[in-house]
């Protein structure tokens, strides 16, 4: 009998069997007249009747009591128990299941998951890391990175490819940049368009907020294909309309994703071409893939829905006796090498050559450029007025390091890059804007263009 695989990403659960993938909706649960419902059915109550619904229980899986019990479930582990039992009921005829774990989970949570599976009679034949499962083909001459988002967070994983196998190397978490944050930002943008066009605020009432979120996927799909996306809602017997500017929505999404982009920039080198494997759920947000494609020397590859579940099937059966299942972090590639032509670092986005402030441009060379209120007379940099609020004597320094332009924040107040605070240092590209102080002083990064370019 076949082996099934379950991809336990609460933003988009998926099940794979031989030659087939089923998408099972997000990790939501709702109490409908005393009966627990999951996935898309539960989505209809998450905002309209929040006391009857739960989310994030997969990521937070624990035996501690919930603040608000749901039906017979008193803890997030109880909810995972019920949801996993439901998923197991969908694996009809399977001899066993390979589980693709949530990247948030600790070793203790993985053990709890296996205990729950054993309790419901699910024979777990393997447990595999999501990034490793989704990486099925080598990329010669390029480094491999995997990008996914759960409901709460985003995760950047480096995947090694030595010895003909995908191997987990390292993972970085970008907190509060998951699917819910993107949806919340898009919903707020669209609600604002309704307010400006008709003075109707969909977020003012639970029922209209639920309606907005129900229609959000369709509006995002239209906005990804057209310059203008019409939107309409009905509330209290009235019809309200708005027109969504797709370009402005894309800019909004790019700003929401800026912390993730900053992390990726810091990891990617213009001298080492990279491949970024992107979870398909992220393609639902207009402009996000285009934003990622502008990373230095990066080729973006959108994964198919359920890619990690399908890839986990190559783990097969017999990889762990009952009670002895271990997290698999290395899997042989089962597809031929990706054919992307010769690796060429010249595809990197141009590094900035100058920084512009108040109509003047400073060249960025191999030395250092300092910004602050207390620069020495012989230091190269931009001196800010000593009475400027929120600006340190030596606020930040820009250096050219191995072909990249890096800003190092040295202040106690913080430096913003494209509206988000830098954590220590960040790589810069042409078009970026640095902000510091109150009121904000803005510095634009540009690249000089020759006449023949």
Per residue in 372-403, pLDDT (tens digit) is: 999 988 899 999 999 999 999 999 999 998 77
d(CA 60, CA 27): 12
C-alpha 441/C-alpha 434 separation (Å) is: 8
Q: Which helix (H) or strand (E) holds 14?
A: strand 14-17
Count of other CB atoms within 10 angstroms of residue 441: 19
Q: With 70 as the cut, is the pLDDT of residue 322 above it?
A: no
Is the CB of residue 273 less than 8 Å from the CB of residue 347?
Answer: yes
Q: Are strands 274-278 and 143-149 parallel, antiparallel or unpaired?
A: parallel
Most confident stretch, 139-153, 259-273, 294-308: 139-153
Q: Where are the alpha helices (DSSP H) in 359-447?
A: none
Residues 6 or more apart in contact with residue 104 via CB below 8 angstroms: 59, 150, 152, 153, 173
Where residue 88 falls among pLDDT bands split at 50, 70, 90?
very high
Say if residue 93's pLDDT is above 90.
Answer: no
Q: Report whether the peptide linkage leading into residue 439 is cis, meaning its omega lies within 30 degrees of zero.
A: yes
pLDDT band for position 370 (50/70/90)?
very high
Nearest to 101 by CA among 117, 90, 85: 117
Kindly state the tokens that stand for 377: 């007379």
Band the pLDDT of 329: cuts 50, 70, 90: very high
pLDDT of 423 reads: 86
State both tokens at 115.
């205990």
For the cut 80, the answer to whether the pLDDT of residue 342 exceeds it is no
Please, are residues 278 and 303 in contact by the beta-carbon 8 Å criterion?
yes
pLDDT tier for residue 78 given thresholds of 50, 70 and 90: very high
Give the pLDDT of residue 346. 44
- The bridge status of strand 53-55 relative to strand 73-75 is unpaired
Report the SS3 class of residue 173.
Answer: strand
* 344, pLDDT greater than 90: no
Q: What is the pLDDT of residues 217-275, one digit of tens each?
A: 999 999 999 999 999 999 999 999 999 999 999 999 999 999 999 999 888 877 789 99
Are the C-beta atoms of residues 404 and 351 closer than 8 Å to each other? yes
Instruction: Give me the percent of the chain exceeding a pLDDT of 90.
Output: 83
Q: Note the pLDDT of residue 404.
A: 85
**Separation of alpha carbons 21 and 2, rounded Å:** 14
Residues 69-97, mean pLDDT to the nearest whole number: 95
Cβ neighbours of residue 427 under 8 Å, at least 6 residues apart? 262, 265, 266, 268, 296, 404, 405, 406
Q: β-pairing, 154-160 with 165-174? A: antiparallel
Provide the whole-model pTM. 0.88
Q: pLDDT tens for residues 33-55?
A: 889 999 999 999 999 999 999 99
The residue among 294 and 172 whose pLDDT is bigger is 172
Whether the CB-CB separation of 250 and 229 falls below 8 Å is answered with no
Q: Is residue 347 over pLDDT 60?
A: no
Judge whether residue 185 has pLDDT over 50: yes
Q: What is the pLDDT of residue 319?
A: 54
């Amino acid at each position: 009998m076949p082996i099934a695989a379950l991809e336990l990403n609460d933003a988009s659960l998926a099940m794979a069997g031989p030659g087939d993938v089923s998408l099972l909706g997000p990790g939501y649960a709702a109490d409908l007249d005393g009966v627990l419902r999951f996935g898309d059915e539960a989505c209809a109550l998450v905002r309209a009747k929040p006391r009857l619904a739960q989310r994030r229980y997969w990521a937070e899986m624990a035996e501690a009591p919930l603040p608000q019990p749901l039906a017979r479930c008193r803890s997030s582990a109880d909810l995972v128990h019920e949801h996993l039992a439901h998923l197991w009921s969908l694996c009809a005829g399977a001899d066993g299941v390979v589980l693709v774990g949530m990247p948030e989970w600790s070793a203790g949570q993985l053990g709890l998951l296996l205990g729950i599976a054993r309790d419901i009679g699910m024979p777990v034949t393997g447990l595999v890391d999501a990034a490793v499962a989704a990486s099925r083909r080598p990329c010669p001459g390029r480094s491999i990175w995997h990008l996914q988002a759960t409901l709460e967070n985003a995760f950047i994983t480096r995947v090694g490819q030595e010895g003909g196998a995908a191997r987990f190397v390292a993972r970085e978490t970008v907190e509060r940049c998951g699917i819910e944050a993107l949806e919340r930002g898009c919903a707020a943008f669209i609600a604002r368009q309704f307010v400006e066009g008709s003075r109707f605020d969909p977020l003012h009432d639970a029922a209209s907020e639920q309606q907005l979120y129900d229609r959000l996927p369709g509006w995002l799909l239209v906005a990804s294909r057209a310059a203008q996306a019409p939107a309409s809602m009905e509330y209290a017997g009235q019809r309200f309309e708005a027109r969504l500017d797709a370009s402005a929505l894309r800019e909004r999404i790019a700003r929401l994703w800026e912390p993730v982009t900053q992390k990726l920039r810091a990891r990617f080198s213009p001298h080492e071409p990279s491949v970024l494997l992107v979870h398909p759920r992220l393609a639902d947000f207009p402009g996000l893939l285009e934003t990622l494609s502008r990373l230095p020397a990066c080729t973006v590859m959108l994964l198919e829905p359920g890619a990690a579940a399908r890839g986990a099937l190559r783990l097969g059966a017999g990889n762990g006796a009952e009670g002895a299942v271990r997290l698999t972090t290395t899997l042989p590639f089962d597809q031929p090498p990706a054919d992307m032509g010769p690796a060429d670092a010249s595809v990197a986005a141009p590094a900035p050559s100058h920084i512009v402030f108040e109509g003047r441009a400073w060249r960025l060379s191999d030395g250092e450029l300092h910004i602050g209120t207390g620069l020495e007379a012989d230091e190269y940099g931009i001196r800010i007025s000593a009475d400027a609020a929120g600006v340190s004597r030596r606020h930040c320094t820009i250096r050219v390091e191995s072909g990249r332009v890096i800003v190092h924040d040295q202040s106690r107040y913080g430096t913003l890059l494209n509206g988000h605070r830098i954590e220590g240092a960040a790589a810069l590209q042409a078009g970026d804007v640095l902000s510091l102080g109150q009121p904000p002083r803005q510095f634009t990064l540009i690249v000089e263009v020759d006449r023949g370019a």
